[in-house]
Structure 1
Amino acid sequence: MRSAIEDRVSRRKFEKEPITEQEKEKIVSLINQLNEVSGLTMAFLEDGSSAFQKLRKSYGLFTNVRSLILMKGKKEDKNLKEKIGYYGEDLILDITDLGLGTCWVGGTFDRDELTIDSGEELICVIVVGKVAAPSLREKMMRSAMHRKVKSIEERIISDQPLPQWVQNGMKAVLFAPSAKNTQKVMFKYQSNILSAQIADDYSMDLIDLGIAKKHFEQESEGKFEFGNGGIFHLK
């Protein structure tokens, strides 16, 4: 399994030292490549700390936040949220390979401090930076989440034994982050067709769908269609 899938954890405590110019350039290059492929308008913000400085928004969950990635795209994109999750997780895995920490943030930041174009929608942000030693709170949260990881059998419905390529993909799915650790994305393997879907009754659900699809693809040769219930096509 790709090491970044296992190494990636949501980090909320960062060092005061900002990322280096070389790291910034690499991240911006990755963002530009993904924007070109996806049609998204994700953007790196070197100092977005003002969006995390109001206690009423961040509730003390984050420490020393500085650099952000604005996860945004055109309002008319019907798959916008899913694309944000899919390409955003692609970006996070590459940033993890750089040795930096990240965290998806959906609501605990001040949107009024961030500027976007009128034709765009800001879905969420990703915080990124050098990681300090895990705080006690982070350790407790990580331990609690680890105990609650659902099994492969709880994440997929099948009418036949799972082939190895499906098992490989599902193992990676178990490492996929999800809002409030709900792990709601469900897979179906029926009549030799694999699909992925989610209830879509929470604002972050379609983001989680994109993230889960990306994780599955990392360990299985093929690609999902976009859309809730999208089908996987083997290469």
Structure 2
Amino acid sequence: MNDNRSMIEVMRNRKSIRTYKTENISDGDYQAIIEYIQKAGSFSGPFNRQGKVALVQVNNNVTDKGIKLGTYGFIKNPRAYLVGITEKNKYSLVDFAYSFHKLTLFATGIGLGTCWMGGTFSRNSFEQELSSIKDGEFIPCITPIGYPNEKERIFDKAVRVVVKADNKKAWEKLFFDAAFDKPLREENAGPLAIPIEMLRLGPSASNKQPWRLVVSPDRKTSHLYIEHTPNYSSSLGYDMQLLDMGIAMCQFDMACKELSLEGKWIVEDPEMDLPNSNYEYIASWQINS
């Protein structure tokens, strides 16, 4: 990816791609992905939890080992998959999603399509393919990669309508000024307006957008919460919406970096009054003093 390209532009324009061209990924693009994974090494984010990513090439969703990878018909003509591996606990999931989303944005920036998948794939088939999964680890998410097939995206558009992918919640439903009883207006967000908008535009499971942000009066601290959807992914054995929080943190953080708003994520619960029992504190972004 061109280092001068705006990551904010990439985040604004990224869409989930489910239908791909049948042409193979170019050697240059494939090597760029490999080098990114090798350079990243351990896929850790702000909380320094350990994760890793495997790159699996496929032909008609069949690997070189002859294993059929199951995506329940949601993905057409993928050329490869990026497969995430981490531990099944709160901050490992959030942390890994942060770093995995950076990889998907990198792939988007070099012209590849991606589609976050946390539930609509057969974990067993991917586990059979990989030998790098240790005790205590599992596959929380994958993404196909390949070149978007712009001419045959009727299926993609239909899925976007079903999950309401283009219907993002308004600011006043997601962001708050000092406390949850006062919605944050975009014109009052100061220098954080663009990072908060990038957070709003991030992908999430079934487009639930479970993130909630409370910004301090001086705009130097932003407290991130999840509003859990009860029983949303209980059948999967883990809270898939925690991945959404890592995505949100990544979108916000990368926008801040591009705008030279230097800060960091910390875990210091401000113990605010919460709207209901489905809310849970995740982390706070704090401008460097």
- TM-score where L is the length of structure 2: 0.72
Distance in 2, matches of 1:12 and 1:180, equals 14
Shift of 1:139: 2.2
1:79·1:226 contact (CA, 8 Å) conserved in 2? Answer: no
Query: What secondary structure sits across from 1:117 in the alignment?
Result: coil
1:104·1:124 contact (CA, 8 Å) conserved in 2? Answer: yes
Structure 1 unmatched runs, 5+: none
Shift of 1:110: 1.9
Task: Show the 5 A alignment for 1:17-56.
Answer: 17-36=23-42, 38=44, 39-47=50-58, 49-50=61-62
Q: Deviations along 1:184-223, whole A, 9 cap, x unmatched?
A: 1111113543111113454211100010111111222223
Task: Show the 5 A alignment for 1:158-197.
Answer: 158-159=177-178, 162-192=188-218, 193-197=221-225
1:176·1:215 contact (CA, 8 Å) conserved in 2? Answer: yes
Structure 2 vs 1, CA of residues 146 and 113 (structure 1 numbering), >3 Å: closer, same or farther? closer
Shift of 1:224: 2.1
What amino acid is the match of 1:139? K
Distance in 2, matches of 1:158 and 1:138, equals 36
Partner in structure 1 of residue 133 of structure 2: 117
Distance in 2, matches of 1:226 and 1:109, equals 32
Query: What secondary structure sits across from 2:203 in the alignment?
Result: coil
Partner in structure 1 of residue 283 of structure 2: 230
2:88·2:138 contact (CA, 8 Å) conserved in 1? Answer: no
Q: Which has the higher helix share?
A: 1
Distance in 2, matches of 1:130 and 1:167, equals 32
Partner in structure 1 of residue 246 of structure 2: 210
What amino acid is the match of 1:131? P
What amino acid is the match of 2:33? I
Structure 2 vs 1, CA of residues 140 and 166 (structure 1 numbering), >3 Å: closer, same or farther? same
Partner in structure 1 of residue 120 of structure 2: 108
What amino acid is the match of 1:107? G
Q: Give the number of aligned pairs.
A: 232
2:20·2:76 contact (CA, 8 Å) conserved in 1? Answer: yes
Structure 2 unmatched runs, 5+: 1-5, 45-49, 179-183, 233-238, 269-280
Cα RMSD between the aligned structures?
2.6
Partner in structure 2 of residue 62 of structure 1: 75
Distance in 1, matches of 2:200 and 2:217, equals 23
Query: Which one has the largest radius of gyration?
Result: 2
Distance in 2, matches of 1:151 and 1:185, equals 12
Match of 2:226 among 198, 205, 209: 198
Distance in 2, matches of 1:40 and 1:148, equals 32
What amino acid is the match of 2:144? V
Match of 1:130 among 140, 143, 147: 147
Distance in 2, matches of 1:47 and 1:180, equals 26
Partner in structure 1 of residue 100 of structure 2: 88
Partner in structure 2 of residue 153 of structure 1: 172
2:43·2:99 contact (CA, 8 Å) conserved in 1? Answer: no
What amino acid is the match of 1:219? A
- TM-score where L is the length of structure 1: 0.87
1:8·1:96 contact (CA, 8 Å) conserved in 2? Answer: yes
